Amino acid sequence: MNYRIQEMSWTEFDERRKATDTVIIPTGAVEIYGPHLPMSSDSLVAGALALRIAGKTNALVAPTIEMGESSMLLDYPGTLTLKKSTYEAVLDDLCSDLIGYGFKNLMFITGHAGNVDTINYLARRYQREKGVRCGQVDWWRFAAANGNEIFELNGPMAHGHASECGTSVLLALRPDLVDMTKATRVEPAAEYQTYTDFIRYLPFADKTPNAIVGDATLGTAEKGKALLDKCVDRIVEYMNHEFGLDAGR
């Protein structure tokens, strides 16, 4: 069954929205993701997760917002970024349309950390002003919280930028876009491991020479599949509980 709203005719959408109050909104980014992974990694993962979750919850899936606020990753060529105000306006327009069509549960699958705060702000506003229920998965932090036992390493060496975790997930989803001959191991720079109790604004290029932080060479499709399966089940469990999906709509 198809769950992507943009691939439906308007009449199919009109029927399908009567069967569910829930819509999943994937968001990602176009950003440097190591020399071995595509710059659309965050968007690809968010979209794939959304479809897997929809298949288990009967929720519909909104179009992926494929760009985000990625200004912190402009140190190397390729990152495309939206101003925070632009990103907020685009997301607000999309969500306002969905709420207008009767959806009462909005589940955000957020592939890029730079989008999280904006979604938090809008979700609280929708809950307060529109009476909808919202949830958000900050994917890579969620993966670290739920998948540590799957990986050989831990902390930033497994869950840093484009490292063991990220590489494994992309190998499971889109191996055709992964070039493991360019995967490397990059230890977190010492400067980034001091004053960790502060919010700091150090250039990303000071952290890594190639946009990898951690050990990308340990990524495997098997690890990625295990993580995806576990995390999808966890998200479905949450949605059933939070939105009452196991009790009907």
Could you give all domains of the chain from N- to C-terminal order, each with its CATH number? 5-247 (3.40.50.10310)
Residue-wise pLDDT for 81-117, tens only, equals: 999 999 999 999 999 999 999 999 999 999 999 999 9
Look at the block and give the residue holding tokens 């917002």. Answer: 65
* pLDDT tens string 140-198: 999 999 998 999 999 999 999 999 999 999 999 999 999 999 999 999 888 777 888 99
Q: What is the pLDDT of the chain when averaged over all its residues?
A: 95
In a 13 Å sphere around the CA of 10, the CA atoms on its Cβ side amount to 1
* 14: confidence class by pLDDT, cuts 50, 70, 90: very high
Class of residue 90 by CB neighbours under 10 A (exposed 0-12, middle 13-18, buried 19+): middle
Evaluate whether 42 touches 28 at the Cβ level (below 8 Å): yes
CA atoms of 245 and 136, how far apart (whole Å): 16
- Encoded tokens for 36: 């071995």
Task: Please give the helix or strand (H or E) that residue 107 lies within, else none.
Answer: strand 105-110
